[in-house]
Amino acid sequence: MTARILVVDDVEPNVRLLEAKLTLEYYEVLTAQDGATALQVAAAERPDLILLDVMMPGMDGFETCRRLKADPVTRHIPVVLVTALDGREDKMKGLEAGADDFVTKPIDDVILFARVKSLVRLKAVMDELREREESGRRFGVDTDGAGRLRASGGRVLVVDDNARQADKIVSQLAAEHRPVAEPDPTAALVAARGPVDLIIVNVSSGEFDGLRFVAQIRSTEATRRTPILGVVDPADRPRLVKALELGVNDILPRPVDTEELEARARTQIRRKRYADFLRQKLDYSLEMAVTDALTGLHNRRYMAGQLQALVGRAGQGGDQVAVLVMDIDHFKAVNDGFGHDAGDEVLREFAVRLATNVRAIDLPCRLGGEEFVVVMPGAPLEAAHRVAERIRRDVAETPFPIMGGAESLSITVSIGVAWSDGTGGDTPDALLKRADEGVYEAKSRGRNQVIARAA
């Protein structure tokens, strides 16, 4: 996977060296030699990753990272701090500034590219989710996710056969999260399918293959999106690189530093919750695209797609299909006499009665206004007529409450029923037209009736 990478360093040879290495790996490289320029380039170009030197005059890497993460335009761009400093305080300072990872000078090319590939993969997923969220927002779907960025109270599964190390991790995280330890990888795979925000794995375990456990987590649908924090000996380069290639989101070096543990866990949990929020909003947007907002029934778009498929199936020897088309009688008088709020109450109550009188496999839909349709897979004409008559009676026999229950109205409905077995080149439009003709005939006969039309 290629990507656009911004390299920031005040030393020209360092910039050129990194640029050459990245270009050989087919990455597109942007450059900046100070923090202020980096902020401008990042905002204008939106790179997929930023390699940011720490020791720069004026605005150092920590402050530049802090500003990148504070700007809504650039906060989702992964930042890897490149530093000659390998001290604990500098690492903690970088994590607190929002850095996603570190590489130390002299740069190990294998580890650098493993981290780059891992973060670019994550960025691609997040970009797609945010793009879909933005589409939903343009269509009026609420996408305020600020509350989902909370990084505390996470459910953490610690998979480690080293009891002392596992106890240390659990004890340190318990003040802020809900950690549990599981030394058995088989049991841990089962536990990981539950509501887990972060998995911490001892990749260097002596009793089980930590890399294989990571691979199993990533190959299982229920767990592949759960972030993994791998605990590994930094001197074990092959294992560290393989862990990143298999999909570990972040690395925690041994021996475990408790403050670094807290910072990295916080980052992964926050990111997981934001991704979950975006996916939830995407699901909500898709649901809203096929749902009538007033009644909660399916809308015309959904009905058309389902009916097209059912009629096509019937035409190929599949099950027959029936439709009911309904029009509430004298609905305009309700709006004119009692107001549109009362009309909405009638429509919502009608939708409830409609949904409770059809079969479990039927699709009740609102076409718009006071018109409704029920698509009935596999229903013969007689069965569809019986359901239509049941709906008609339920509507007519019990008055509809309006104005919060202060008043009630007698409502009736005219229903047309049509049926098709798919022969004779029947189409969804033809089927709906026959049912609609039944509605008009019911209206002309005095309303509050069911009229059935065969193919």
Q: Are strands 4-8 and 413-420 parallel, antiparallel or unpaired?
A: unpaired
Alpha-carbon distances of 135 from 130, 286, 415, rounded to whole Å: 9, 11, 38
Q: What is the set of active-site residues?
A: 370
Quickly count: other Cβ atoms within 10 Å of residue 421's Cβ.
Answer: 17
Burial 19-36 (b: 16+ CB within 10 A, else e): bebbeeeebebbbbbbbe
Q: 33 Cβ partners below 8 Å, 6+ apart?
A: 8, 9, 10, 12, 15
Burial, 361: exposed, middle or buried (Cβ in 10 Å; 0-12, 13-18, 19+)?
exposed
Unique residue bearing structure tokens 């109550």: 349
Q: Are strands 400-402 and 28-32 parallel, antiparallel or unpaired?
A: unpaired
Is there a contact between 230 and 256 (Cβ–Cβ < 8 Å)?
A: no
Q: Indicate the DSSP class of residue 398.
A: S
Angstrom distance (rounded) from CA 80 to CA 172? 26
Q: Are strands 321-328 and 413-420 parallel, antiparallel or unpaired?
A: antiparallel
Structure tokens at 20: 């050459």
CA 160 to chain centre: 30
Phi-psi region of 330 (alpha: psi -120 to 50; beta: other; left: phi over 0): left
Residue 18 identity (one-letter amino acid): L
Q: Which residue spans within 237-370 are E strands per DSSP?
A: 250-253, 321-328, 363-368
